[in-house]
Protein backbone atom coordinates (compact mmCIF):
# COMPACT_ATOMS: atom_id res chain seq x y z
CA UNK A 1 0.00 0.00 0.00
CA UNK A 2 1.42 3.36 -1.00
CA UNK A 3 1.05 6.64 0.83
CA UNK A 4 -0.12 9.82 -0.83
CA UNK A 5 2.64 11.94 -2.33
CA UNK A 6 2.17 14.96 -0.04
CA UNK A 7 2.42 12.81 3.11
CA UNK A 8 5.45 11.06 1.65
CA UNK A 9 7.11 14.41 0.84
CA UNK A 10 6.60 15.65 4.40
CA UNK A 11 8.07 12.47 5.86
CA UNK A 12 11.01 12.45 3.42
CA UNK A 13 11.82 16.08 4.24
CA UNK A 14 11.71 15.35 7.98
CA UNK A 15 13.98 12.31 7.59
CA UNK A 16 16.42 14.30 5.47
CA UNK A 17 16.63 17.18 7.90
CA UNK A 18 17.04 14.88 10.93
CA UNK A 19 19.76 12.77 9.32
CA UNK A 20 23.00 13.21 11.27
CA UNK A 21 25.25 12.36 8.31
CA UNK A 22 23.63 14.98 6.08
CA UNK A 23 23.80 17.53 8.90
CA UNK A 24 27.50 16.83 9.39
CA UNK A 25 28.72 17.01 5.81
CA UNK A 26 26.15 18.65 3.56
CA UNK A 27 26.97 22.33 3.98
CA UNK A 28 27.41 22.70 0.21
CA UNK A 29 24.83 20.10 -0.86
CA UNK A 30 22.87 22.25 -3.30
CA UNK A 31 21.09 20.75 -6.29
CA UNK A 32 17.67 19.70 -7.52
CA UNK A 33 16.64 16.30 -8.78
CA UNK A 34 13.61 14.52 -10.16
CA UNK A 35 12.39 11.15 -8.93
CA UNK A 36 10.26 9.80 -11.80
CA UNK A 37 8.34 6.90 -10.33
CA UNK A 38 6.02 6.36 -13.27
CA UNK A 39 2.67 7.64 -12.06
CA UNK A 40 4.32 9.94 -9.49
CA UNK A 41 7.03 12.49 -10.13
CA UNK A 42 8.65 14.77 -7.55
CA UNK A 43 11.37 17.38 -7.75
CA UNK A 44 13.46 17.76 -4.62
CA UNK A 45 15.38 21.00 -4.22
CA UNK A 46 18.31 21.00 -1.80
CA UNK A 47 20.09 24.13 -0.64
CA UNK A 48 23.10 24.00 1.68
CA UNK A 49 22.06 20.59 3.00
CA UNK A 50 18.44 21.48 3.68
CA UNK A 51 15.31 20.62 1.76
CA UNK A 52 14.26 23.90 0.16
CA UNK A 53 11.19 22.45 -1.55
CA UNK A 54 9.61 19.20 -2.68
CA UNK A 55 7.48 19.81 -5.74
CA UNK A 56 4.89 17.01 -5.71
CA UNK A 57 3.23 18.05 -8.94
CA UNK A 58 5.96 19.22 -11.31
CA UNK A 59 5.14 20.58 -14.72
CA UNK A 60 7.04 19.77 -17.87
CA UNK A 61 9.09 22.96 -17.68
CA UNK A 62 9.98 22.80 -13.97
CA UNK A 63 13.80 22.70 -13.76
CA UNK A 64 16.04 20.13 -12.08
CA UNK A 65 19.70 19.18 -12.38
CA UNK A 66 19.35 15.43 -12.84
CA UNK A 67 16.65 12.77 -12.90
CA UNK A 68 16.24 9.17 -11.81
CA UNK A 69 13.58 7.40 -13.85
CA UNK A 70 12.38 3.86 -13.18
CA UNK A 71 9.27 1.71 -12.99
CA UNK A 72 7.07 1.73 -9.91
CA UNK A 73 8.28 -1.78 -9.08
CA UNK A 74 11.90 -0.64 -9.09
CA UNK A 75 11.09 2.24 -6.73
CA UNK A 76 9.25 -0.16 -4.42
CA UNK A 77 12.35 -2.38 -4.37
CA UNK A 78 14.58 0.61 -3.54
CA UNK A 79 12.31 1.41 -0.59
CA UNK A 80 12.47 -2.01 1.07
CA UNK A 81 14.40 -2.05 4.36
CA UNK A 82 16.71 -4.67 2.84
CA UNK A 83 16.52 -4.35 -0.96
CA UNK A 84 17.23 -7.24 -3.30
CA UNK A 85 20.63 -7.34 -5.01
CA UNK A 86 20.97 -4.69 -7.72
CA UNK A 87 18.46 -2.44 -5.90
CA UNK A 88 20.90 -1.39 -3.18
CA UNK A 89 22.11 1.66 -5.13
CA UNK A 90 21.47 3.75 -8.18
CA UNK A 91 24.41 2.54 -10.25
CA UNK A 92 23.70 -1.15 -9.70
CA UNK A 93 20.09 -0.59 -10.75
CA UNK A 94 21.13 1.46 -13.79
CA UNK A 95 23.43 -1.33 -14.98
CA UNK A 96 21.12 -4.28 -14.38
CA UNK A 97 17.58 -2.97 -13.89
CA UNK A 98 15.41 -0.30 -15.53
CA UNK A 99 16.75 2.78 -13.74
CA UNK A 100 17.82 5.63 -16.03
CA UNK A 101 20.01 8.47 -14.78
CA UNK A 102 19.58 11.59 -16.89
CA UNK A 103 20.61 15.22 -16.79
CA UNK A 104 23.71 16.89 -15.44
CA UNK A 105 25.91 14.02 -14.24
CA UNK A 106 28.54 16.48 -13.02
CA UNK A 107 26.11 17.91 -10.46
CA UNK A 108 25.16 14.38 -9.38
CA UNK A 109 28.84 13.45 -8.93
CA UNK A 110 29.61 16.67 -7.04
CA UNK A 111 26.84 15.77 -4.59
CA UNK A 112 27.02 11.97 -4.77
CA UNK A 113 27.88 11.21 -1.14
CA UNK A 114 25.09 13.39 0.25
CA UNK A 115 22.66 12.30 -2.43
CA UNK A 116 23.38 8.63 -1.67
CA UNK A 117 22.68 9.14 2.03
CA UNK A 118 19.46 10.96 1.19
CA UNK A 119 18.45 8.36 -1.41
CA UNK A 120 18.83 5.60 1.17
CA UNK A 121 16.26 7.39 3.34
CA UNK A 122 13.70 5.88 0.96
CA UNK A 123 14.15 2.71 3.03
CA UNK A 124 12.58 4.57 5.93
CA UNK A 125 10.08 6.79 4.12
CA UNK A 126 8.83 4.28 1.56
CA UNK A 127 7.70 5.55 -1.81
CA UNK A 128 4.36 7.00 -2.92
CA UNK A 129 3.78 4.35 -5.64
> Is the distance from CB of 42 to CB of 35 less than 8 angstroms?
yes
How far is 92 from 23, CA to CA, in rounded Å?
26
- Asked whether residue 91 is domain-assigned, the answer is yes
- What would the pLDDT profile of 2-55 be if each residue is shown by its tens digit? 689 999 999 999 999 999 999 999 999 999 999 999 999 999 999 999 999 999
Mean model confidence pLDDT for the chain: 95
Number of domains in the chain: 1
- Asked whether residue 25 is domain-assigned, the answer is yes
Task: Give me the CATH number covering residue 13.
Answer: 3.30.1050.10
Domain of 116 in residue numbering reads as 5-122
- Asked whether residue 128 is domain-assigned, the answer is no
How far is 5 from 8, CA to CA, in rounded Å?
5
- Asked whether residue 93 is domain-assigned, the answer is yes
- Asked whether residue 18 is domain-assigned, the answer is yes
Per-residue pLDDT for 1 more than 70?
no
- Asked whether residue 83 is domain-assigned, the answer is yes
Helix, strand or coil, per DSSP, at residue 100? strand
Grade residue 95 by pLDDT with cuts at 50, 70 and 90.
confident
Task: Give helix then strand counts, H and E, for the chain.
Answer: 7, 5
Amino acid sequence: MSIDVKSWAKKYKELTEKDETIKAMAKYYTCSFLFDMGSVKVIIEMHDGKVKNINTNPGGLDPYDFALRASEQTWREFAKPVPKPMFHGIYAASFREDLKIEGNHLVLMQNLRNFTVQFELLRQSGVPV
